[in-house]
Chains A and B, each alone.
Chain A
Amino acid sequence: MKTMIYSDYITIRSALIQSFIIAVALGCFLAIPLGSTAAVVAMVVVIIDMGATMNLCAYDDVNDWQRFRLTMPLSRRQVVVGRYMSVALIMVCVAVLAVLIGLVLQLLLGNVLAIGDFTSLSLSTIVLELVIAAILATCITLIDTGITLPLMVRFGMTKATRFIMPVMAVVLLFALQALGSIGLDSGSLESMVVSFLGVNSLAEIGLDALMGCALVCALVCVVLYVISSSISIRLYQTKQF
């Protein structure tokens, strides 16, 4: 598994650096119109995480790399578990980096440039907000990756792109139906959280409570990610190269 993680790291390193620079530049550019560094953090996380997963799976298909990789001392199970671990590691590192970027950006816009929207909050509140944004954005990418990786593992990137969008649409439809059936308003993430907590607005609850919600959400997503990995292992065992 160490082999797989290292192999993924050296494969994706330069692409990660590039997408990091692009995401940060875009974030800095959009921070003022969005009026929030939390939104920038979420954007950086989603852009880099999803790009990294796509990139890794795309490299698998080029020059039969994944076929050759199986001639190294790796079982098919190790390949899949290693890939899930690589992506998870990238997600954790990107979340931490995104929070740091958000913080630097907040200090720059609020304290140095003194732009109105960014001056009103205390440092501790800002940090908590940024962490919550990073966790929730990572949850979104965990769900996305949990759905797309089994397809990419089984069919390869090129073929999987035919199925990813229809599958995502079906999953989203079922998820919204399920949320509606248990009485949750699924119009937006905010309204869903509000209806889940039984309050009138997010302002009613403290950031600590919101952090608790984000952690529960992360736990659920991690469980789904693990389930996705076990599905991928089964699919990869039957794959013919």
Chain B
Amino acid sequence: MKTTLKILKYEFHNVIRNRWMLAYALFFLVISEALFQFGGDASKVMLSLMNVTLLIIPLVSLVFGTMYAYNSREFIELLLSQPVDRKWLFVGMHAGLALPLALAFVIGVTMPFVIHGVGEAGNTPTVVALIGAGIFLTLIFVALALLIAVVNEDKGRGFGVSILLWLFFAVIYDGLILLATLTFREYPMEQPVIVMTLFNPIDLARIALMLQFDISALMGYTGAVFEEFFGSVTGMVVSFGSLVVWTAFPFLLALRRFIQKDF
């Protein structure tokens, strides 16, 4: 565990000084501020910001994480030649990569809300939910990025897989759900759709946030079904539990492959 904290300390210093990290924080800062300037009240800003967050965080976490892991390969070899346990080295690497990314997002999004006094409008729980969803997505997609880099030896192939994975979760998966509901429109699809939602972390985060915004009524009958399930205590436990599983599963899979990997 001490090894993890040591690795985390230096990896964090290295990643946080990366100019892309500054650009990432500035991106959220500029977008949030621009939405306040042009969009009006905090709830509209959060709704627009939710859509940006759900697309950008998985993309940046996957691409930046994959590239970072490939570019660190020789240094990982050097660290593995030191008297350290592979397991704790990997945990430190994941945290050292995910924490600066999450921090850049939190700072970029939070500052405009603080400046414009979001707390006064009673929107604090929604902002906290947005930040929580962003942190979860960062942890999940950084773990997936490390898994891609550990499994694929070739950097170009790894980069391609990370882009494809983002496309799948951000775009294709919803298309498949739509296709399934159209194909089986004669049958009650509400329950299967809820189950399918659990297999996509972006959809999970989206639904959790939409319930916070209380706009599920705009989605008609499906929205009512989602609200009934995900708005209940069981639904909240299931959705939160699914996000935790989504955080742990790729991480543990990547850890297992990292421990067995030849460098």
A and B from one complex: no
Which residues of B are interface residues toward A (Cβ below 8 A)? none
